[in-house]
Amino acid sequence: MKLTLLRTKTLDRANPLRDIAKVVPRPLGGLARMIPWVCQLILVFAALAISAPAQESPYIVTYDHYLEEPGSLEVEYFSTFGTQRGGNDFHAFWAEFEYGATAWWTTELYFDGQTTFNDSTIFTGFRWENRFRLLQREHFINPVLYIEYEQTSGADKILKEVEGHDVEADYADPNAIARQDHDHEIETKLLLSKTFNGWNIAENTIATKNVTGGNPWEFGYAIGASRPLALKASARRCSFCPENFIAGMEMYGGLGDTYSFGLHETSHYLAPVVAWNLPSDWTLRLSPGFGLNDNSHRFLLRWGVSREFSGFGSAISRLFGGRQ
């Protein structure tokens, strides 16, 4: 809501139409609009063509306490299709490069974009995320510290996390207006997670601050539970073995900000999640999400494909003359 008001202010001038005309981005051509779809198709076909498996969690918003294996690079592509009341539906997407720097530190780079139907396709910013494992061994609850810097425009719609008073109406503005807002955010999370009897239970507490201007800290949460369909691995290599599928549920939403902490004017989602860990380090994820109150998008459909490249660090090291 706050964001909407802010955006309205930026147009509150003598001739708002002229201003809009100046900033309206030239919509990308038909071919360019198809880029995300083509990328997805290529990745999906490649995933199906190559047969060997990662053990990735099915969560799209929630984080568990497992980090990327040291030296491995995971390349991920995710999409979010969202319905929008009072505006056009959208398809937001992001590419993610996740690298295991050490066994206790994982670093990630995101590039975000979105297509608002009947509007335009635009690049909306980048994020740099770091996760640090705080304890050396497994404990009853395992904490991980998450620190992210993000530089995104107000048109960013990937909904990677929901925080503060984020509500559906914030996403109704045309791209031309929304992209005028620029956020420089520091986002911190405390990730708590535990795995027992095959079940993973994870809880994330989020605190975010837009460092431009005197914005308050905004809060949010994400919780998730998941379990592989089978706990024992089968002796043969297979794509459709039940242990390759992990299913679960996640729930996420905002908790207000330092000025008004609580559930007032916040949005919340419940989303079943499923991951298919294909042999060959490919993972496919699917998650239909449902808004739980009137402030939420009614429906979010998320899907993603990722591929892990083991030994990426060693390969780069060798490239520059290092020894294996």
Partner 1 sequence: MKRTMTTATRRFGFVITSAVLLAACVGTATAQSDHSEHEKYKYKNDALVYAELAKAPKKAVARRNPLESDSDAVLAGGKLFDQHCTECHGELADGTKKGPSLRADPVQQATPGALFWLLTNGVVRRGMPVWSKLPEPQRWQLVSYIKSLNPPKPAATAGEQTLQH
Enumerate binding residues for partner 1 (CB under 8 A): 52-55, 57, 64, 66-67, 69-72, 100, 102-104, 133, 136-138, 195, 197-198, 200, 228, 231-237, 243, 279, 310-311, 314, 323-324
> Given the complex with partner 1, which of 63 and 81 has the nearer CB atom?
63
Q: What backbone torsions phi and psi does residue 64 show, to the nearest 5 degrees?
A: -95, -170
> Given the complex with partner 1, which of 10 and 317 has the nearer CB atom?
317
Contact 80, 157 (CB under 8 A): yes
Closest separation between CB of residue 229 and partner 1, Å? 11
Q: Give the DSSP letter string of 112-156.
A: EEEEETTS-EEEEEEEEEEEEE--SS--SSEEEEEEEEEEEETT-
> Given the complex with partner 1, which of 68 and 163 has the nearer CB atom?
68
Q: Which residues pair with 206 in a beta bridge?
A: 189, 220
- Would you state the structure tokens that stand for residue 272, as one six-digit string? 């079943």
> Given the complex with partner 1, which of 101 and 186 has the nearer CB atom?
101
Closest separation between CB of residue 197 and partner 1, Å? 7
Closest Cα to residue 25, out of 183, 168, 184, 178? 178
> Given the complex with partner 1, which of 21 and 229 has the nearer CB atom?
229
Closest separation between CB of residue 100 and partner 1, Å? 8
> Given the complex with partner 1, which of 241 and 305 has the nearer CB atom?
241
Closest separation between CB of residue 121 and partner 1, Å? 36
Closest separation between CB of residue 233 and partner 1, Å? 4
Contact 183, 166 (CB under 8 A): no
Closest Cα to residue 159, out of 146, 149, 175, 170? 170
Closest separation between CB of residue 138 and partner 1, Å? 5
Cα-Cα-Cα-Cα dihedral sign, residues 170, 176, 177, 181: positive
